Amino acid sequence: MRIVLLGAPGAGKGTAAKMLSDTLNVPHLSAGDLLRENVAGGTDLGIQAKTFMDAGGLVPDDLVIGMMRERLARDDCQTGFILDGFPRTLDQAEALSTVTGIDVVLNIVVPEDVIVKRLSGRRVCPSCGAVFNVDNNPPQTNGVCDSCGGDLIQRDDDQPETIAQRFATYREKTEPLIAFYTRDDLVREIDSSGSVEQTRENTRAALGL
């Protein structure tokens, strides 16, 4: 199954993606992880992207699309995939449509005030990528990753003063994708305002799993 996840920052796309990847046995493709992989691996696309990142700019769509096109061509994607954080813009969605078809788009819906609270409480492990929340998914030891024992941090873009800007960018750039995919009757809404387990059940129900 070929799935695109949409939703505002902090809506729970990463949590849904991991669950679906494990359930369907298909890769979870995060645009951010793919970008970091290319930069760390010194690929041609990664080297080009790094010049923009080092200058504090956004990586151009054509480079992100190139990385995603290469990743989707690998053998493990032939039976399906979960796209998280891509596409983010209409241009990316149009480009994706020339590379592969999409079976379903899951739009994860959460009230904005709930998302703000989630983002403010989110803590991540820079070492292994594990994600916790001080309110509803705290680590066993405060500030310490359960998985690898690393120190947990609050990402810069989860600081309260930056959350409003993230929402504005989402509404301008990414929210129009809902209409783009609705025209092909691909969109299904997932209520993610409750617990993680409730969101999992809502996601499974939307896909008939």
Distance CA 129, CA 158 (A): 15
Active site residue 13: yes
Of the residues 71, 118, 122, 123, which is catalytic? 122
Query: Which tens digit of pLDDT belongs to each residue from 128-163?
Result: 988 888 887 899 999 999 999 999 998 877 777 777
Query: Which tens digit of pLDDT belongs to each residue from 153-191?
Result: 988 777 777 777 777 778 888 888 999 999 999 999 999
Active site residue 173: no
Active site residue 36: no
Active site residue 155: yes
- The pTM of this model reads 0.78
Segments making up each domain of the chain, as ranges: 2-111+163-207
Tokens representing 87 are 């596409």
Query: Which tens digit of pLDDT belongs to each residue from 60-113?
Result: 888 889 989 999 999 999 999 999 989 988 999 999 999 999 999 999 988 888
Tokens representing 209 are 């799993």
Distance CA 87, CA 103 (A): 15
Active site residue 171: no
Of the residues 13, 71, 118, 200, which is catalytic? 13
Distance CA 199, CA 24 (A): 17
Of the residues 88, 117, 173, 204, which is catalytic? 88
Tokens representing 10 are 């902090």
Of the residues 2, 36, 69, 166, which is catalytic? 166
Cα–Cα distances in Å, from 188 out to 1, 11, 140, 202, 207?
Answer: 14, 15, 35, 11, 9
Region 2-111+163-207: CATH code: 3.40.50.300
Q: How confident is the model at residue 21 (pLDDT cuts 50, 70, 90)?
A: very high
